């Protein structure tokens, strides 16, 4: 039987417990508020990614006493940012694509098979612009002696903090990536400008009463692996070359710039084309170290004898057309490409008499190979259609350029395009 004294005592004890609970709740609420305030302040003050992650780990480990946590983050691939409380081999058994990506919302694993996620209780996904950028895996938490399930007590707060910090980190990463990309663009623009200086412009091409040159250059990217050049060897001889490095981009451009410097240093009227090609092959091997090779057509024309000496090093055969006879000749003789083998076993140096009123067109494979093009189409035959006429070579090249614009508009060109044309009188 309850006495009045005992009833009063029970009421006082109950009020004391309520006050204690209220005090704990207030303390927890203050902790969460201060955490969000500090996180927001850190983001505004442009704290580093490491500083944000340190705050995040302190919140979960020190303040909320998370027993197990595993954070995956995506940059270029899925990576473990940190792991705590899980066995070291748990990561080996988790397939992000299969075990995590299907989860679009916070998921409790209590009713699912935990074998693949290391006895995880919660999976919290983080999305940014519709894409999953992170997954937080959590075990149970030791909070107030488990009087109430911590997954219920702090889930919303943990989800909020996780989203705020991980999205902030992603924004910082994207910002840093944008800065890096802008710097790269500036470097590529400078590299492109420097490379264009290596390509002869129309005003620098040699010319005389017996021959006329015309050219076209279209890099697919800021820098490319195509190259052509003309060198006045003496009063009657002009050397010329067109080349194409395997691959694209900066690596190809570096190989090509080295090749250009070497060619300019070695190509004189005293050296035979066979000796020149042998030396070029050796230097390409030294510079490219087997990673790159190049195809090349190199020639030397004597305007007095009207003899063209040439070597085709695995390049697309140039087309020689005589306007008077209508004869079309493919210049095919030569050797394998530069850098394909350490030593060239056989070099076929060819000489051909050029009849007056002829024209020659040399080009790289970017002119005849297009995306979505039917494999049955022979691009060289298409080029032949442009020169089988009595027009001058520069007019032929202008027609080709006009035709190329259609491919550009359809985004079908996927390689550098270089063309050199020579008109022989």
DSSP labels, 217-247 = EE-SSSS-SEEEEEEE-SSSEEEEEEEEESS
Averaged pLDDT, 2-7 = 49
pLDDT of 420 strictly over 80: yes
pLDDT band at 147 (very low <50, low <70, confident <90, very high): very low
Based on the fold, state whether residues 169 and 203 are members of the same structural domain: no
232 and 161 within one domain: no
Tell me the pLDDT tens digit for each residue of 90-100: 888 888 998 89
Element (H, E) at 264: helix 249-266
Please say whether the beta carbons of 357 and 322 come within 8 A: yes
Which of 239-248, 284-293, 297-306 has the highest mean predicted lDDT (pLDDT)? 297-306
Question: Which among 353, 386, 379, 385 is positioned nearest to 364, based on CA atoms?
Answer: 379
Question: Which one, of 236, 301, 311, lies nearest residue 276 by Cα?
Answer: 311
What pLDDT score was predicted for residue 355?
Answer: 95
337's torsion region: left (phi>0), alpha (psi -120 to 50) or beta? beta
Q: Is 0.75 topped by the overall pTM?
A: no
Residue 320 has pLDDT above 90, yes or no: yes
Q: What is the tally of structural domains in the chain?
A: 2
Q: What whole-number distance in Å separates Cα of residue 266 and Cα of residue 260?
A: 10
Residues 166 and 230 in one domain: no
Structural domain includes residue 279 = yes
pLDDT band at residue 107 using 50, 70 and 90 as cut-offs: confident
Is 11 within a domain?
Answer: yes
Do 143 and 9 sit in the same domain of this protein?
yes
Query: How many helices (H) and strands (E) in the chain?
Result: 8, 16
What residue numbers bound the domain in which 370 lies?
199-424
Q: Which of 134, 132, 156, 131 is nearest to 32 (CA)?
A: 156
Angle formed at CA 337 by CA 332 and CA 338, multiple of 5 degrees:
135
> Does 89 lie in the same domain as 220?
no
Burial letters for 155-183: b for 16+ Cβ neighbours within 10 Å, e otherwise?
bebbbebbbbbbbbbbebeeeeeeeeeee
- Strand partners of residue 319: 330, 361
Indicate which CATH number applies to the domain containing 76.
3.30.450.40
Pairing of strands 122-128, 131-138: antiparallel
Judge whether 295 lies within some domain: yes
**For residue 359, is it within any domain?**
yes
Decide which of 187 and 167 is more confident. Answer: 167
Q: CA torsion angle for 129, 130, 133, 138 (degrees, to 10)?
A: 120
Whether residues 158 and 284 fall in one domain: no
- Given a contact cutoff of 8 angstroms between Cβ atoms, the answer to whether 103 and 138 are in contact is no
CATH number for position 269: 3.60.40.10
Q: Are residues 290 and 153 in the same domain?
A: no
* Residue 267 forms part of a structural domain: yes
Could you tell me if residue 187 is inside a domain? no
Q: 230 and 353: one domain?
A: yes
Q: Are residues 145 and 70 in the same domain?
A: yes
pLDDT > 80? residue 307: yes
Residues 54 and 147 in one domain: yes
Residue 191 domain flag: no
Assess if residue 114 is contained within a domain: yes
Q: What percent of the chain has pLDDT over 70?
A: 82
Q: Which residue has the higher pLDDT, 18 or 222?
A: 222
The whole-angstrom separation of Cα 257 and Cα 362 is 20
Cα 4 from chain centre: 83
Q: Are residues 130 and 274 in the same domain?
A: no
State whether 16 and 121 are in the same domain.
Answer: yes
Q: At what angle do helices 393-409 and 379-387 cross, to 10 degrees?
A: 140
Query: Which residue has better confidence, 350 or 289?
Result: 350
């Amino acid at each position: 039987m309850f006495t009045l004294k005992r009833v009063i005592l029970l009421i006082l004890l109950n009020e004391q417990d309520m006050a204690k609970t209220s005090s704990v709740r207030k303390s927890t609420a203050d902790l969460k508020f201060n955490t969000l305030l500090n996180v927001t302040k850190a983001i505004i003050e442009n704290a580093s990614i490491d500083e944000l992650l340190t705050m995040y780990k302190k919140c979960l480990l020190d303040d909320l006493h998370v027993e197990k946590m595993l954070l995956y983050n995506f940059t270029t691939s899925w990576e473990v940012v940190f792991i705590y409380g899980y066995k070291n081999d748990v990561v080996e058994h988790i397939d992000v694509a299969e075990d995590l990506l299907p989860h679009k919302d916070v998921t409790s694993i209590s009713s699912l098979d935990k074998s693949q996620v290391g006895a995880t209780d919660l999976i919290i996904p983080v999305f940014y612009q519709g894409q999953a950028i992170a997954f937080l895996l959590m075990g149970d938490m030791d909070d107030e002696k488990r009087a109430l399930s911590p997954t219920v007590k702090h889930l919303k707060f943990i989800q909020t903090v996780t989203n705020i910090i991980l999205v902030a980190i992603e924004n910082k990463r994207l910002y840093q990536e944008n800065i890096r990309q802008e710097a790269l663009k500036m470097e590529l623009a400078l590299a492109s400008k420097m490379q264009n200086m290596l390509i002869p412009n129309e005003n620098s091409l040699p010319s005389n009463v017996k021959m006329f040159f015309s050219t076209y250059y279209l890099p697919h990217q800021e820098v490319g692996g195509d190259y052509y050049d003309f060198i006045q060897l003496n009063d009657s001889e002009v050397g010329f070359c067109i080349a194409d490095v395997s691959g694209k981009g900066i690596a190809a451009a570096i190989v090509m710039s080295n090749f250009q410097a070497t060619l300019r240093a070695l190509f004189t009227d005293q050296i035979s084309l066979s000796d020149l090609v042998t030396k070029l092959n050796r230097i390409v091997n030294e510079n490219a170290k087997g990673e790159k090779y190049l195809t090349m057509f190199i020639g030397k024309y004597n305007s007095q004898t009207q003899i063209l000496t040439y070597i085709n090093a695995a390049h697309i055969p140039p087309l020689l057309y005589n306007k008077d006879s209508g004869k079309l000749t493919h210049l095919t003789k030569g050797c394998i490409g530069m850098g394909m083998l350490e030593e060239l076993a056989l070099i076929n140096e060819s000489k051909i008499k050029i009849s007056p009123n002829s024209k020659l067109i040399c080009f790289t494979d970017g002119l005849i190979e297009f995306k979505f093009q039917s494999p049955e189409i022979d691009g060289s035959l298409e080029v032949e259609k442009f020169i089988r006429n009595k027009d001058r070579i520069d007019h032929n090249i202008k027609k080709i350029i006009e035709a190329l614009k259609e491919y550009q508009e359809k985004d079908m060109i996927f390689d550098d395009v270089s063309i050199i044309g020579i008109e022989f009188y």
